[in-house]
Amino acid sequence: DWTMAAFREEAKEKIREQVGSSKVICGLSGGVDSSVAAVLLHEAIGDQLTCIFVDHGLLRKHEAEEVVSMFRNHYNIPLVHVDVSDLFISALEGVADPEAKRKTIGKLFIDVFEAEAKKIGGADFLAQGTLYPDVIESVSFAGGPSVTIKSHHNVGGLPDRMNMKLVEPLRELFKDEVRALGRTLGLPESFVGRHPFPGPGLAIRCPGGVTREKLEILRNADAIYLDEIRKAGLYDAIWQAFAVLLPVQTVGVMGDGRTYDFVCALRAVTSVDGMTADFYPFDMAFLGRAATRIINEVKGINRVVYDVTSKPPGTIEWE
């Protein structure tokens, strides 16, 4: 792609201008944006870059292994894998408000980045895969209009007290452009085509309080749902699909016993940039299959519902 080839060279030049000979830390989330940012930065500044993959315990099934192996084995980009799930999950205990979750997570991300920066002798810059829609929609951070829908910055609402300066090479791009850039950079199609995943991860897909047990239930349901979507050949037709674990228990019957378990909501939308979205019109047979598997295979869920809300008035995520 000609436009992206030109963008790639310009962006690398800008990165070099901004950071000079300083060290840069890049927060990798496993998503397309941060991966593309990391590969671009690595081309621009080589060893000045250290990528930090923060496993906050809010990732999807097998996500950590996939990201780490792709970066270490495929790209040979130095990667620090920090497992801080205890830290994040205990900090989130009792935090039910969506914005409070983002603030808690954003603050811990910075703590982790600062600690990792110290370990490599200091870094002046923190790089992120922030996109243009993130900039417009997280107005509280960018200081734009007065209504904040969600402070969804890439790491979920960054605190003001951060010492490092931000490097955001994708700030002017939309998702489809980032994907084109990723292809230009040689990222595998399986990675470039991944559905977006929010920085605060599964925490914002567990409305109400987050616990290890709930996260595990959600992770399993989500994996089955995505597996069914792939099997049906629908993954690429959908912008984003995921399960949400509702803080509601309902009565059911399994075998000859009564159950009293959680409700799982399934979400799938089509979109071009995430700013507006339509719910995906699955056929009922598909939904029935996914629901049956989730209820049979995931202990803790006995009811599945499908979300038919578009954006607006809904948002894509439930929190």
Interface residues with ligand XMP (CB under 6 A) are 102, 150, 152, 154, 156, 196, 198-200, 240, 274, 311, 315-317
What Rg do the C-alpha atoms of the chain give, in angstroms?
A: 20
We find the least distance from the C-beta atom of residue 243 to ligand XMP, in angstroms, to be 13
Residue 31 annotated in ligand binding: yes
We find the least distance from the C-beta atom of residue 226 to ligand XMP, in angstroms, to be 14
| 145 vs 257 by CB, closer to ligand XMP | 145
How far apart, in Å, do the first and last CA atoms of the chain sit? 36
SS3 216: helix
We find the least distance from the C-beta atom of residue 223 to ligand XMP, in angstroms, to be 17
CB 196 within 8 A of CB 53: no
Residue 155 annotated in ligand binding: no
| 68 vs 135 by CB, closer to ligand XMP | 135
Q: What is the 3-state secondary structure (H, E, C) of 71-82?
A: HHHHHCCCEEEE
We find the least distance from the C-beta atom of residue 316 to ligand XMP, in angstroms, to be 3
We find the least distance from the C-beta atom of residue 154 to ligand XMP, in angstroms, to be 5
Residue 140 annotated in ligand binding: no
| 4 vs 155 by CB, closer to ligand XMP | 155
Residue 190 main-chain phi, psi, to 5 deg: -60, -25
CB-nearest residue to ligand XMP: 152
Residue 35 annotated in ligand binding: yes
Residue 283 annotated in ligand binding: no
| 43 vs 246 by CB, closer to ligand XMP | 246
How far apart, in whole angstroms, are the C-alpha atoms of residue 306 and residue 290?
A: 10
How far apart, in whole angstroms, are the C-alpha atoms of residue 28 and residue 38?
A: 7
How far apart, in whole angstroms, are the C-alpha atoms of residue 35 and residue 187?
A: 9
H or E element that contains 270: strand 257-270
| 200 vs 207 by CB, closer to ligand XMP | 200
We find the least distance from the C-beta atom of residue 144 to ligand XMP, in angstroms, to be 15
SS3 243: strand
How far apart, in whole angstroms, are the C-alpha atoms of residue 272 and residue 42?
A: 28
Residue 32 annotated in ligand binding: yes
How far apart, in whole angstroms, are the C-alpha atoms of residue 276 and residue 5?
A: 28
| 184 vs 240 by CB, closer to ligand XMP | 240
Q: Write out the binding residues for ATP.
A: 29-35
